[in-house]
Amino acid sequence: MKSFASDNYSGIHPRILEAVVRANNLHEISYGDDTYTLKSNELFNRIFGDTSVLYAFNGTGANVISLKCCLQPFEAVICAETAHINADECGAPTQSTGSSLLTIKTSNGKLAPELIKPFLSRIGNVHNTQPKVISISQSTELGTVYSLKELRALADFAHDNGMYLHVDGARISNAVASLGVGLKEATVDCGVDIMSFGGTKNGLMIGEAVLVFNPELQKNAPFFQKQTAQLFSKNRFIAAQFEEMLKDDLWLEMAQHSNTMAQFLVKKLNEIPEVKITQAVDANAVFAIIPEKAIIPLQKKYRFYIWDEQTREVRWMCSFDTTEEDVIDFAETLKSLI
């Protein structure tokens, strides 16, 4: 079965799997004091500059660790209504931190200083939770990507107002591939304080990394990782995957491929006049409205999600292993159903 449902329907890139197999070599010290974790940490520091690196099992875990590093329970997170932390994590960030999410409706999943300004009036008022983190997803849940300029504007706005900028980077590789710049240039150099670096949705079996750039957030991070049940005893098996992904830009190769497949899908869809693409296709997601009658028959062959029950907007995700043949067959199937 192939699908366009999610990049987490895909499996493991062969090179990543080989790295796991290679790491299965006698005993290693547990809880991250192993040689694989050491090497992976070094690669992260070579790429991003000085950073604390903490591994997590999944995106929710990585987000919870990141937010805990930033927040007192009376402080709040500003995010888009579509943010994964708000829409897809069963309230984990709120339950784990005690903090409230202050959500903003957006058309394209992206925040901007203008949208956040109204919350500044809360600052200092003891009856209100206090805005402390601006949390964005890069790329967003709507497949859009913040430009470097947009990122810098958000980081500056955050810092000018005593807040941190957090990036949910479950798909940071797709975003950076789309921007065509370096990882550091697209993150810490823009002023990001703390972020997750996603692995699972870009060819890894399992694993996310929390990168803590801001030194004042680093000290408590290992304790939050442990208390959030995200510290892995056999961490070599996550670290070996990251090492393989980072050492010669496999992350980029996979992300570029996913993005290219999304562009190829757009091209094919443009040949079908009844299909209306609804969001900028900056990364590996395509959002569209298609004739109602085609949805269920198409889902029978290729799984995908109806994103919005009201508008009947659908979402198609491309993965590192999506092929041109998959896209062609998918588009032809859709055409035949309309």
* Subset of 180-239 contacting its own copies (CB under 8 A): 200-201, 205-206, 220, 222-234, 237
Q: Does 174 bind its own copies (CB under 8 A)?
A: no
Q: Least distance in Å: CB of 20 to its own copies?
A: 7
Helical residues (DSSP H) of 180-248, grouped into ranges: 221-227, 236-247
Exposure class string for 166-181: b at 16+ Cβ within 10 A, else e: bbbbbbbbbbbbbbee
Closest CA to 197 of 79, 40, 92: 40
* C-beta closer to its own copies: residue 186 or 231: 231
Residue from the set 42, 49, 74, 332 that interacts with its own copies by CB under 8 A: 74
Nearer to its own copies by Cβ, of 97 and 259: the residue is: 97
The answer to the question of residue 21 lying near its own copies (CB under 8 A) is yes
Least distance to its own copies, CB of residue 270, Å: 25
Question: Shortest distance, CB of residue 83 to its own copies, whole angstroms?
Answer: 13
Give the type of residue at 130: Q
241 forms part of the interface with its own copies (CB under 8 A): no
Task: For the CB of residue 184, give the shortest distance to its own copies in the complex, in Å.
Answer: 27
Q: Under DSSP, is residue 86 helix (H, G, I), strand (E, B) or coil?
A: helix
Name residues contacting its own copies, limited to 267-296 (CB under 8 A): none
Among the listed residues 302, 309, 62, the one whose alpha carbon sits nearest the alpha carbon of residue 194: 62
Q: How far is the CB of 338 from its own copies (least distance, A)?
A: 24
Cβ of residue 28: shortest distance to its own copies, in angstroms?
6
Give the residue carrying structure tokens 């999304």: 262
Coil, strand or helix: which one is 335? helix
Burial code (b: 16+ CB inside 10 Å, e: under 16) for 183-214 equals bbebbbbbbbbbbbbbbbbbbbbbbbbbbbbb
Give the x/- contact pattern for its own copies in 77-116, rule: CB under 8 A. Answer: ----------xxxxxx-xxx-xxxx---------------
